[in-house]
């Protein structure tokens, strides 16, 4: 028996995401850098969308990756008060911590704050580098990708973060032992890049089917147009497998909105409809997954009346 608490909780097992695999990619910072777009398509990650980044290689499993927000406020206290009257934001940022396992050049550059020209090939096929005093700090754009899987569809789900400007905070100790990789832990601190701090998202074929249940969904506007000058009848609107009751051919924007809100996968407050009675209507859904369709089979009169829908 489902309890009222369980009904209100609306727990979604597929919404529990785990980082079953992780990739960290980096490149030298360029002002105004944004995450690749498009980044995903129906098959997953768009081919070559991350080609400009260098991989940091495998990451230590036990340490994982930690994203630690750092927010500071100034509390405004009233004289004799026991709690703040207001809070003013002083600063906000975050730290990114991970432990690379491989001796990659990009990792050496980040952890050692080494300039690109510090590396020199040796005649024996090796490499050497020189650390100079007083080197200016280098900044990095980092892309973090964490992969999980939808247990029902067996399709991948990706959590991702793009940090446009990170700087080395404090490199960890490099331990040379027989039972651990020798590369040192990495701690990077987020810096502001214009108005941007970072971008993040969840995507992939395995996420599309659960996005709406978790409260997500892109706000996409569509225009519905009736042609053929009908004199009566109704049309219907379908989204996510659910179809409205017949909507009068000359319905007002309010009537169209009410019909769509009546769908259980939409609900009140998630629809915006504008337009004149009889259309065209611009319909915008919030937090609802799926591509809408319409049917004018119920329209009558006029000259072969039809209803069409297209992105605004």
Q: With 70 as the cut, is the pLDDT of residue 218 above it? A: no
Look at 1-5, 85-89, 143-147, 296-300 and tell me which has the smallest mean pLDDT.
1-5
Burial 227-258 (b: 16+ CB within 10 A, else e): beebeebbbbbbbbeeebebbbbebbbeebbb
Decide: 309 and 224 in contact? Cβ < 8 Å.
yes
Q: What is the pLDDT of residue 294?
A: 96
Mean pLDDT of the chain: 92
Structural contact between residues 142 and 100, judged by C-beta atoms closer than 8 angstroms: no
pLDDT surpassing 70 at residue 250: yes
Is 61 in contact with 71 (CB distance < 8 Å)? no
Least confident of 83-97, 207-221, 284-298: 207-221
The separation between the first and the last C-alpha atoms of the chain, rounded to the nearest angstrom, is 45
Element (H, E) at 259: helix 253-261
> Any idea which of 97-106, 109-118, 169-178 has the lowest mean pLDDT?
169-178
Give me the mean pLDDT over the 136-144 stretch: 96
Q: Rounded to whole angstroms, how far apart are CA atoms 255 and 250?
A: 10
The percentage of the chain sitting over the pLDDT mark of 90, rounded to a whole number, equals 72
Average pLDDT estimate for 77-85:
95
pLDDT at 51: 95
| pLDDT reading at 220 higher than 80 | no
Tens of pLDDT along 84-100? 999 999 999 999 999 99
Q: What is the DSSP string of 148-159?
A: EE-TTT--EEEE
Three-state SS at 225: strand
Q: What is the mean pLDDT of residues 277-296?
A: 89
Q: Kindly state the average pLDDT of the residues 252-260.
A: 95
Domain boundaries, the chain: 17-208, 216-311
């Amino acid at each position: 028996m489902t309890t009222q608490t369980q009904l209100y909780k609306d727990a979604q097992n597929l919404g529990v995401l785990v980082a079953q695999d992780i990739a960290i990619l980096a490149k030298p910072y360029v002002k105004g850098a944004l995450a690749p777009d498009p980044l995903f398509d129906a098959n997953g990650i768009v081919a070559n969308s991350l080609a400009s980044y260098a991989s940091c290689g495998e990451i230590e499993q036990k340490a994982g990756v930690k994203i630690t927000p750092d927010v500071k406020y100034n509390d405004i206290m009233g004289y004799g008060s026991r709690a703040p009257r207001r809070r003013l934001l002083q600063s906000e940022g975050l730290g990114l911590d991970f432990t690379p396992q491989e001796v990659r050049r990009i990792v050496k550059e980040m952890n050692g704050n080494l300039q690109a020209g510090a590396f020199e090939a040796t005649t024996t096929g090796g490499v050497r580098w020189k650390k100079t005093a007083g080197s200016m700090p280098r900044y990095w754009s980092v892309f973090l990708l964490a992969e999980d899987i939808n247990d029902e569809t067996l399709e991948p789900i990706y959590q991702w973060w793009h940090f446009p400007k990170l700087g080395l905070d404090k490199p960890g100790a490099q331990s040379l032992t027989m039972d651990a990789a020798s590369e040192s832990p990495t701690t990077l601190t987020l810096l502001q890049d214009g108005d941007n701090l970072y971008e993040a998202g969840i995507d992939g074929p395995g996420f599309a089917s659960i996005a709406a249940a978790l409260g997500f969904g892109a706000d996409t506007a569509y225009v519905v147009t009736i042609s053929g000058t009908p004199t009566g009848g109704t049309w219907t609107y379908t989204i996510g497998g659910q179809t409205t009751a017949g909507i009068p051919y000359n319905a007002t924007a309010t009537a169209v909105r009410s019909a769509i809100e009546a769908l259980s996968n939409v609900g009140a407050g998630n629809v915006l409809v504008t337009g004149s009675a009889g259309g065209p209507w611009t319909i915008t859904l919030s937090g609802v997954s799926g591509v809408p369709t319409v049917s004018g089979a119920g329209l009558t009169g006029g000259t072969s009346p039809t209803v069409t829908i297209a992105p605004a």
